[in-house]
Amino acid sequence: MRRGFLVALGAAALLALSLAAVSAWPPARALVRRALGAAYREREIVPPDLAAPAVGARPALAGLAWLRGAAPAPGDLEGRALVVAIAAHDDPRAPRVLAAVQAWHDAYARRGVRAFAVLSAALDATRDTAAAAGLARRTGVTFPVAWDATGAAAATRDGAPEVLVVDATGALRFRAGCAELAWADLALRRAVARLAPSVRAGPAPDTLAWGARLDCPEPRRIALGAGAVARGPLAGAAAGRTQVFTTQFRFQEEGAAWTPVPVGRWIPRRDGLEAARAGAADFLAIRYHAGAASIVASPPREGPAKLWILLDDDWLPPAAMGEDARREPGGGAYVEVTEPRLYRVARGAGGVLRLSPGRAGLVLHALTFEDPSGPARP
């Protein structure tokens, strides 16, 4: 038994030396990188270095409309570290970024860190301050939130949400997308350590594994406005005129993947597709393959309206219901469209999604799908 143990120990040592030698050889390192794939790329991510030159200056918060809380007074931010979330409220990634900043606010506010959010809209139809404030409320945000009417702040990353970490000197030290929030946590910890060296930084938010890249792919957005759809029945549809869309066969309704197919009476608009009437004979169908499906919609002028949801010829099942989906006692699934915003409709592997308006005048602006990296099913 002892001899076997020594043989195993020697083999392990030889393997370690071999790996070290291979790693020292550049072509072999490339092979290791390809073999380890994503796991190796995570190790290659360079953590933020507060000793490096600043990547920018403190973002300007003056001149914004404040949805929650008040603008910081002159001099109020001097000597303080900041963490600022910038996001479009109709982006499905926005809640994740706001939740992370809320966790940092809870952990570090007593250590002198100030947290803010600057919200905007990705679509003209959703430039609604009440809808943006509603997102902050639903996410449980307790720090000040501002409204960027021009969308200039979100333009820094082509509209993608980001978090800015500013140290106590006013220097912007790190910009993080929603997949890099763990590194933003590290940058903030270092800023806190410099702000109060005698105080040990608190734990990172539970949802953030230190140094890990979070799964946060760019969502697929399919605009439904006239002139915005490249293929299918809506391609080339004239804006402002009621049209009757028909299909002879079921496979035409289901269509090709990622292609919206309206059935019934609809009015194509520049910013979306308006329901000309309500009823089960009128719906928008799309075949998709994604982790979650959302719809950006506006209610009719008369008030809120239900948008009924079916998946693969049946009501959306409870296990596939998105955060905004509701279910009637009889089993019917729907979302209540009360304001122009993004509604999380379904989650799961996908299929053929059908959305049927419960009231004329309801407008569907865009479909949004998260985790669209998988192959589109025919």
Separation CA 350–CA 354 (nearest Å): 12
CATH number at residue 123: 3.40.30.10
Q: Domain check: are 245 and 354 in the same one?
A: yes
Distance CA 158, CA 112 (A): 31
- 7 part of a folded domain: no
DSSP state letters, 226-282: TTT--SSTTTTPPTTS-EEE--SSHHHHH-SBT--EEEEEEEEETTEEEESS-STT-
Same domain, 129 and 237: no
Residue 28, SS3? helix
**Contact indicator for 224, 242 with CB cutoff of 8 Å:** no
Euclidean distance between CA atoms 17 and 14, whole angstroms: 5
For 221, which DSSP code?
Answer: E
Query: HSE (CB half, 13 Å, CA atoms) of 123?
Result: 26
Q: Using CA atoms, how far apart are residues 46 and 180, in angstroms rounded to an integer? A: 11
- 164, 233: one domain: no
Both 359 and 264 in one domain: the answer is yes
Cβ atoms < 10 Å from Cβ of 27 = 7
Tell whether 45 is covered by a domain: no
Is 20 a member of any domain?
Answer: no
332 inside domain:
yes
Task: Find the CATH number of the domain harbouring 343.
Answer: 2.60.120.260
* Same domain membership, residue 94 and residue 189: yes
Q: Rounded distance, CA 305 to CA 295, Å?
A: 14
How many domains, the chain?
Answer: 2
Same domain for 168 and 109? yes
Q: Positive or negative CA dihedral for 13, 17, 23, 27?
A: negative
pTM score, whole prediction: 0.79
Assigned token pair, 226: 């006239």
For the stretch 34-63, pLDDT in tens is 333 333 333 334 555 555 556 666 788 878
Residue 152 in any domain: the answer is: yes
The verdict on 297 and 171 lying in the same domain is: no
Q: What pLDDT sits at residue 26?
A: 38
CA-based radius of gyration for the chain: 25
- Considering only CA atoms, which of 124, 116, 93, 315 is closest in space to residue 214? 93
Distance CA 245, CA 266 (A): 8
Q: What is the pLDDT of residue 45?
A: 44
Domain of residue 73: give its range.
Answer: 56-195
Report the half-sphere exposure of 339 (CA within 13 A, side-chain side): 14
d(CA 266, CA 224): 12
Collapsed DSSP state (helix, strand, coil) of residue 186 = helix
Residue 44 lies in a domain: no
For residue 179, what pLDDT is reported?
A: 78
Task: Give yes or no: residues 132 and 246 share one domain.
Answer: no
Clarify whether residues 364 and 224 are in a common domain. Answer: yes
- Measured between alpha carbons, how far is 191 from 193 in angstroms, rounded to an integer? 5
Does residue 298 lie in a domain region? yes
Helices (H), 37-113: 38-44, 94-108
Q: Are residues 232 and 365 in the same domain?
A: yes
Same-domain pairing of 190 and 236: no
Taking the alpha carbons at both ends of the chain, their separation in whole angstroms is 59
Assign 177 to helix, strand or coil.
strand
Q: What is the pLDDT of residues 338-376, one digit of tens each?
A: 999 999 999 987 899 999 999 999 999 999 998 754 433
Check whether residue 228 and residue 289 sit in a common domain.
yes
The list of the chain residues with pLDDT below 50 reads: 1-2, 5-9, 11-45, 199, 201-213, 373-378
